[in-house]
Amino acid sequence: MNLWKQLTTVNSTPYFFLAVAASTVVFLAVMALLHRTSPRVKKWLTIVLTFAAGLFYFLEYMLPVHTLKGGHEGNFLTPYVEPVSNYVNFILIWTLFLGIISLTIVHGRRLLRRVAGWHNSLAFFLALIAMLTFGFTTRSGGLGSPKEHVALQITYDSLFTGLLMNLDSAMFALLAFYIASAAYRAFRVRTVEAALLMISALIIMLGVVSFGVKLTGWIPAEGTGWAYLRIENAALWILKWLNMPGQRAVGIGVAIGALAMAMRLWLSLERGTFFSKES
Amino acid sequence: MNNETTESPKPAPVGGESRLWSVLMLGLLTALLVIGILMNRDMTSFEPEGARYRQWQTLLGVIVTLGIFSILYKENPVFRFLEHIFIGLATGFSAVFLWFNFVEPKWFVPMMPKTLIHKTQYHAAGQGQWWLFFALLVGLLFFSVYVPRLAWMNRLILGVIMGFFAGLGLQMFIGLIGPQITSSFKPPVTRYNPGEPVPAGMPFDANNLRIGDSHWYLHPFAIVFIVVLVCTLAYFIFSVEQRKGWIRKPANAGRYFLMITLGSIFGTTVMGRLSLLIARLEFVIASVQGWWHALVK
Amino acid sequence: MGSLFDRLQSLDRQWIYLLLSIVLIAALIVGKMEKPVVQLPARQLFDAVEASPSGPDGDKIILVGTTFSFNTIGESGNQARAILRHLMLTKKRFAVMSVEPVGAEIGKIITTKLAKEYGLEYGKDWIYFGYQLGTLAFFKSFPQDIPGTVQVDGIEKKPITDFEIMKRVKTIKDVDMHIEITASASVFDWLQVVQPTTKPRLKIGYACTGVMAAEAYPYLDSKQMVGMLPGLKGAADYEQLVEEREKDFPEVKAGASLGSIPRIGLYRTARHLMFAQGAAHVLIIIFIILGNVGYFLARRRPRSKEAMDE
């Protein structure tokens, strides 16, 4: 097949590389052109693109739905939700590499300058490289002899289940100790508010365990309203009728605030987030 | 005259003493990994449930758990070392996981032409969707944050991403909070019995009290609910000054009700956090008991 | 007394940690299974599962989401075990999936082990969807077309339409209930994106860690959730309810499926662990009271000392 035919055949390797090269050149040219524009143009470009991006999901939700091909309900934007959502996620994934780069810079500096504790930074790099190596080699398949495969699997599983998962669980478990320490050293009933906090916390904590149930087990449960004074019932009542409206009020307040902030971001009314002093 | 200034002895650098520990820990971990591979080298296929492999995994787990718990005594090089190992492993795992579960099946493979990946297991799935390459180019704009002159590109892409999620905001609000608002309208008096389930252990439903012989029912808990909700909402209204006027008392009451809510959160948080520790200690105890039985046998 | 409380006030935190560890270890070693007082949220979830038309004669299934990792295995693992035992005992047809990769694996391990004990047939009585990417695209497309979104099952790697259980399951309307066992906020994706699009509203059960329990009560009240298991207490309550229900199935050996699964760190049942939980709660309460008594005594002492000097 001659080169021209290859270059014009979709899904062929030369066509792919040509398309990628052309799109890279076009992209860089456009960004270079935009870079030469004034800050005012850059600002308005950001505002317009931000608005257009938000408009997609907003319209998809607000426009009336009808039955589409395939029997699903939606409007003309609904078929594009999945590709757009995937595209946004593809772009966001690069922020993970931002995190990796930041960590590499910080620990790399410590390693190269041999500051105190540089050996820990070395441990970080070794762990990172080990997980990447064994993670990619075991997941990709296409390995050598089964014995090598098994050795790599053992190593990867040891890094993941043996080390990472246990480290993760142990780190979380430390929190319980800090709560105990805070309960003793920091939880001081200095005000009426603190007293209310403590009383409700104590009732909840006692209400879920058998010791608390036994404490008030002598209160008759049958035939009288005194049953509400049993600690487990009191705890449930507090959770349902005092905690619940408070949580709802907080939730509504936070949601309204989040919606207002989302609207401000969408309409680019937030100053200082995207715009530098020059604009 | 003594011109020499007396200097207090400089404390030994932390790096000095941790170097030995770090080398020891690194050596220990590497030795454990090598021992583990050697112990299981006769496995023809990977069997995570195999007794020998599980024992070795358990050993790793107990060692790192006790190492992490060593911070409770005092700051020490063992904990710092394990902490850095954890960060490295977690970062590496995130990259591996994202690649194999998202990037590869949904971006890389569809983007590649069949002819380029024909020697791999994915050759059938290659669709040559070259336009997906733009996601890489656009994603690279995030890295412009490192070049001050090009930082505007970072603001551009951040703005677009935030715009997308802001557009979702209304949908999320209506989906989640809409039912919350509608169910907040609880009438204190109704002409019917709502028939809500009576909590176990309760002799009667104190929230549905029939008024005399009439068809009317009083719901005292609904009154409590309305009072708490309105007062707590009043506490969050900042458009009106809370120190004077009609809003002062409800807002003050709202603060007290909020403390009860925070107390509930504290109580359940204590329960949750202790459960994490209980599970971890159970693992250590079960492992030690298993080794003890194996030793005694 | 004053100097004792002074010393207690300035107690090093390491002693507090040591005391907590000793109490918990002792409670775990000597503790026995407790019979909890079942609370309403757990009972509501149990009743909702009982009433679900997803039995062998029904036309719907229950979806179970195991969206947790090893770090919350004590709570979430026990919740998953209790819920799955109930589903298998009452022969409800169900599917297991997760938007968390480790959770998917844990869900598979627990379900496979229990299914063997209950004699369930894969593909007919239950199916495993595996790990699904929890993006907006998934939550938008899953309710509209389940086979098209999931495509292959997570065990045999075959198209899910090949399995008998999926013959009549096409959209979310064929799912009666989704029970999300989670340590994260993944249930809110179902509440925000999936549930509003369903008519009748998709029932959602929530099995959460203790930390997230308090903030879920508004959703129980608004009926967005049909029931909830709050942390280890919820798991213990549900286990108790399942044990009582087992009496209606004499052919099933009581408690046979409560064996440990060491690979995922699941050992004893939630009812066993609640003894340790209770001991720890009592200790924390003692800490709070001691700390405050010491604080008040310390506050009062300088004033009384001044009064004596006058």
Nearest residue in B to A49, CA atom: B160
Question: In terms of residue numbers, what domain contains C155?
Answer: 40-268
| HSE-CB for C200 with a 13 A CA cutoff | 6
Nearest residue in A to C212, CA atom: A247
**How confident is the model at residue B15, as a pLDDT?**
47
Same domain, C103 and C210: yes
Q: Kindly tell me if the per-residue pLDDT of C280 is higher than 80.
A: yes
Residues of B in contact with A169 (CB under 8 A): 65, 276, 279-280, 283
Mean pLDDT value of segment C191-197: 92
Distance from CA of B90 to the nearest CA of C (A): 13
Pairing relation of β-strands C61-67 and C175-182?
parallel
Among the partner residues B103, B184, B204, nearest to A248 by beta-carbon distance: B184
Residues of B in contact with A120 (CB under 8 A): 18, 22, 80-81, 83-84
Nearest residue in B to A45, CA atom: B156
Nearest residue in B to A162, CA atom: B57
pLDDT tens, residue by residue, B137-165 = 998 888 888 888 888 898 899 888 989 88
Same domain, C262 and C289: no
Residue matched to tokens 């998962």: A165
Residues of A in contact with B126 (CB under 8 A): 11
Helix (H) or strand (E) holding C179, with range, is strand C175-182
CB contact under 8 A, A202 and C144: no
Distance from CA of C160 to the nearest CA of B (A): 19
Same domain, C193 and C232: yes
3-state SS, residue C127: strand
A6 near B CB under 8 A = no
**How confident is the model at residue A162, as a pLDDT?**
87
Same domain, C73 and C88: yes
CB contact under 8 A, C133 and B101: yes
Residues of B in contact with A158 (CB under 8 A): 33, 36, 56-57, 60
Residues of B in contact with C133 (CB under 8 A): 101-102, 106
3-state per-residue secondary structure call for chain A: CCHHHHHHCCCCHHHHHHHHHHHHHHHHHHHHHHHCCCHHHHHHHHHHHHHHHHHHHHHHHHCCCEECCCCCEECCCHHHHHHHHHHHHHHHHHHHHHHHHHHHHHHHHHHHHCCCCHHHHHHHHHHHHHHHHHHHHHHHCCCCCHHHHHHHHHHHHHHHHHHHHHHHHHHHHHHHHHHHHHHHHCCCCCCHHHHHHHHHHHHHHHHCCHHHHHHCCCCCCCCCHHHHHCHHHHHHHHHHHHHHHHHHHHHHHHHHHHHHHHHHHHCCCCCCCCCCCCC
**How confident is the model at residue B18, as a pLDDT?**
55
**How confident is the model at residue C162, as a pLDDT?**
94
Among the partner residues C145, C215, C287, nearest to A183 by beta-carbon distance: C287
Interface test with B, best of A7, A9, A16 (most B CBs within 10 A): A16
Among the partner residues C16, C135, C137, nearest to A180 by beta-carbon distance: C16
Distance from CA of B3 to the nearest CA of C (A): 43
End-to-end Cα spacing for chain A: 55
Among C residues 225-244, those touching chain B with beta carbons less than 8 Å apart: 230-233
Residues of B in contact with A23 (CB under 8 A): 130-131, 133-134, 137
A92 near B CB under 8 A = yes
Among the partner residues A87, A255, A268, nearest to B177 by beta-carbon distance: A255
Residues of C in contact with A248 (CB under 8 A): 218, 221
Q: Kindly tell me if the per-residue pLDDT of A197 is higher than 80.
A: yes
Mean pLDDT value of segment A157-164: 87
**How confident is the model at residue B2, as a pLDDT?**
44
Residue type for A124, please?
Answer: F
Residues of B in contact with A142 (CB under 8 A): 120-121
Same domain, C22 and C62: no
Same domain, C8 and C44: no
- Which long-range contacts does A184-188 make (Cβ < 8 Å, 24+ apart)? A184/C11, A184/C13, A184/C16, A184/C287, A184/C288, A184/C290, A184/C291, A185/C13, A185/C16, A185/C291, A187/C288, A187/C291, A187/C292, A188/C291, A188/C292, A188/C295
**How confident is the model at residue B10, as a pLDDT?**
46
Nearest residue in A to B205, CA atom: A225
3-state SS, residue C256: coil
CA pair distance B262, C44, nearest whole angstrom: 25
CB contact under 8 A, A232 and C37: yes
CB contact under 8 A, B162 and A50: yes
- For the beta carbon of residue C181, count every other beta carbon within 10 angstroms: 34
CB contact under 8 A, A209 and C73: no
CA pair distance C49, C82, nearest whole angstrom: 12
Among the partner residues A98, A158, A259, nearest to B143 by beta-carbon distance: A98
Among A residues 31-50, those touching chain B with beta carbons less than 8 Å apart: 31, 35, 39, 42, 45-47, 49-50
Residues of B in contact with C281 (CB under 8 A): 270-271, 274
Same domain, C241 and C287: no
Geometric angle at alpha carbon A127, from A125 and A129, rounded to 5° = 65
Residue matched to tokens 């000392």: C305
pLDDT tens, residue by residue, C215-252 = 999 999 999 999 999 999 999 999 999 999 999 988 87
Distance from CA of A110 to the nearest CA of C (A): 31
CB contact under 8 A, B14 and A117: yes
pTM: 0.89
Q: Kindly tell me if the per-residue pLDDT of B172 is higher than 90.
A: no
Q: Kindly tell me if the per-residue pLDDT of B236 is higher than 60.
A: yes
Identify the band that residue C310 occupies on the pLDDT scale cut at 50, 70 and 90.
very low
Sign of CA dihedral C107, C110, C113, C118: negative
Residues of B in contact with A46 (CB under 8 A): 152, 155-156, 159
Helix (H) or strand (E) holding C95, with range, is strand C94-98
Same domain, C284 and C302: yes
3-state SS, residue C261: strand
**How confident is the model at residue B4, as a pLDDT?**
45
pLDDT, chain A, mean: 85
CA pair distance B212, B191, nearest whole angstrom: 13
Same domain, C68 and C180: yes
pLDDT tens, residue by residue, B30-83 = 887 787 777 777 766 666 666 777 888 888 899 999 999 999 998 888 899 999
Among the partner residues A10, A45, A266, nearest to B156 by beta-carbon distance: A45
Identify the band that residue B12 occupies on the pLDDT scale cut at 50, 70 and 90.
very low
Tokens of C51: 């009433």
CB contact under 8 A, A89 and C135: yes
% of chain B residues with pLDDT over 90 = 28
**How confident is the model at residue A144, as a pLDDT?**
35
CB contact under 8 A, A81 and C140: yes
Among the partner residues A171, A200, A256, nearest to B68 by beta-carbon distance: A171
Same domain, C93 and C202: yes
Residue matched to tokens 């757009």: A84
Among the partner residues C43, C215, C232, nearest to B275 by beta-carbon distance: C232
Residues of B in contact with A89 (CB under 8 A): 102
CB contact under 8 A, C25 and B285: yes
| Pairs of residues, one from chain A and one from chain B, whose beta carbons lie less than 8 Å apart | 457
Helices marked H in chain C = 2-9, 13-30, 40-50, 78-89, 101-118, 136-141, 146-150, 187-189, 217-221, 231-246, 270-309
Residue type for C74, please?
Answer: G
Same domain, C298 and C184: no
Residues of B in contact with A130 (CB under 8 A): 88-89, 92
**How confident is the model at residue B200, as a pLDDT?**
59
Query: Which of the two residues, C265 and C107, has the higher pLDDT score?
Result: C107
C30 near A CB under 8 A = no
Q: Kindly tell me if the per-residue pLDDT of A279 is higher than 80.
A: no
Tally of structural domains, chain C: 2
Same domain, C212 and C292: no
Q: Kindly tell me if the per-residue pLDDT of B1 is higher than 80.
A: no
C199 near A CB under 8 A = no
Mean pLDDT value of segment B252-264: 94
Identify the band that residue A89 occupies on the pLDDT scale cut at 50, 70 and 90.
confident
Mean pLDDT value of segment A163-187: 92
- Which long-range contacts does A40-45 make (Cβ < 8 Å, 24+ apart)? A40/A279, A42/A279, A42/B152, A42/B156, A43/A274, A43/A275, A43/A279, A45/B156
pLDDT, chain B, mean: 82
Tokens of A1: 């097949």
**How confident is the model at residue B3, as a pLDDT?**
45
Identify the band that residue B191 occupies on the pLDDT scale cut at 50, 70 and 90.
confident
Among the partner residues A176, A184, A247, nearest to C214 by beta-carbon distance: A247
Mean pLDDT value of segment C92-114: 93
**How confident is the model at residue B45, as a pLDDT?**
67
Interface test with B, best of C30, C71, C79, C221 (most B CBs within 10 A): C221
Tokens of B182: 């509608």
